[in-house]
Amino acid sequence: MTDAEPTLDSLKEILQVEIDADLLQLALTHRSFAYENGGIPTNERLEFLGDAILGQAVTVSLFRDNPDLDEGELAKRRASLVSSAALAEVGRAIGLGPHVRLGRGETMTGGADKGSILADTVEAVIGAVFIDRGPDVATDLVMRLIGPLMRDPSRFGVSMDPKTSLQELAARRGLGSPLYAVTESGPDHNKHFIATVTVGDLVQASGGGSSKKAAEMAAALEAWSSIAPRA
């Protein structure tokens, strides 16, 4: 990007938040870009913070707005709303991809639309807003971003068991069984998993999580979301 400030200003307008430009740019800095530019700071610490802010805001909202749901159902809904697939959906909805600072390799392989990168960047932006504007503004942002998903009753069917739902959808379309591949990174006490699922020749999707199961579920939900609307 040759003109960062107008790009940041346009993103601020989308987010409806006035935030320090340097902090927002840090939230948009993927590790691939940082590596190619002398090891500058990445958005990973902000992502860690944003994940916690997101989880708390969604948990409180679900608890307050659904007095008839038990703990198990609330937990399932929260998991679906904060999943990598859901956050990637949010990232695409607000056009976040072109704003993310990526290395050349990630750019060439379509990193601006990768689910895991979009999801992580959404969390980093939430973390940056929390740091700069405080908890109330950050919570308001989470509700603006996640609110449309909360109000979509259809997503709480597939999201509860995305691997089974994807398997059934693939069978109906004659695509064969979904194939999963999982990679892991990080130290033993803080591992991060990335799952990629391939469904026939139709789609390849990815998702991340703190366990192999969570990553596969996130990838399955993203794949299902991509295939289901197709005729």
Per the residue annotation, which of 89, 106, 123, 222 is the catalytic one?
123
Out of 1-10, 98-107, 151-160, give the one with best mean pLDDT.
98-107
Does the structure show a pLDDT above 90 at 34? yes
Per the residue annotation, which of 51, 106, 216, 222 is the catalytic one?
51
Residues 71, 49 share a domain:
yes
Does the structure show a pLDDT above 50 at 162? yes
- Tell me the CATH number at 56: 1.10.1520.10
Tell me how crowded residue 196 is: count the other CB atoms within 10 A of its CB. Answer: 19
To the nearest whole percent, how much of the chain has pLDDT over 90?
A: 47
Query: Any idea what DSSP says for residue 39?
Result: S
Q: Sorting pLDDT into bands at 50, 70 and 90, what band is 120?
A: very high
Does the structure show a pLDDT above 60 at 6? no
Residue 204 maps to a domain: yes
Residue 69 maps to a domain: yes
| Domain termination site, one of 158, 191, 207 | 158
Residues 186, 100 share a domain:
no
Residue 1 maps to a domain: no
Residues 154, 139 share a domain:
yes
Residues 139, 180 share a domain:
no
Which of 223, 87, 115 is CA-nearest to residue 168? Answer: 223
Out of 1-5, 119-123, 205-209, give the one with best mean pLDDT.
119-123
Q: Is 47 annotated as a binding residue?
A: yes
pLDDT of residue 179: 94
Does the structure show a pLDDT above 80 at 210? no
Does the structure show a pLDDT above 50 at 5? no
pLDDT of residue 155: 66
Could you give the CA distance from residue 84 to residue 217 in angstroms, rounded to a whole number? Answer: 9
As a three-state string, the secondary structure of 46-101 is: HHHHHHHHHHHHHHHHHHHHCCCCCHHHHHHHHHHHCCHHHHHHHHHHCCCHHHCE
Residues 111, 170 share a domain:
no
User: In the β-sheet with 203-209, what is the strand arrangement from edge to edge?
Assistant: 179-185, 192-199, 203-209
Can you read off the two tokens belonging to residue 209? 């999580």
Does the structure show a pLDDT above 60 at 3? no
* Residue 62 vs residues 89, 109, 152: alpha-carbon distances, Å: 19, 37, 13
Active site residue 201: no
Number of domains comprising the chain: 2
- Tell me the CATH number at 216: 3.30.160.20
State the average pLDDT over residues 136-163: 83
Residues 205, 91 share a domain:
no
pLDDT of residue 73: 82
Q: Which domain holds residue 196?
A: 160-227
Q: Which single residue is written with the structure tokens 């597939």?
A: 158
**How many angstroms separate the first and last alpha carbons of the chain?**
36
* Residue 83 vs residues 75, 116, 161, 205, 214: alpha-carbon distances, Å: 12, 10, 12, 14, 8
Active site residue 161: no
Q: Considering only CA atoms, give the Rg of the chain.
A: 18
Which of 9, 55, 8 is CA-nearest to residue 27? Answer: 8
pLDDT, one tens digit per residue, over 38-76 is: 889 999 999 999 999 999 999 999 999 999 988 888 888
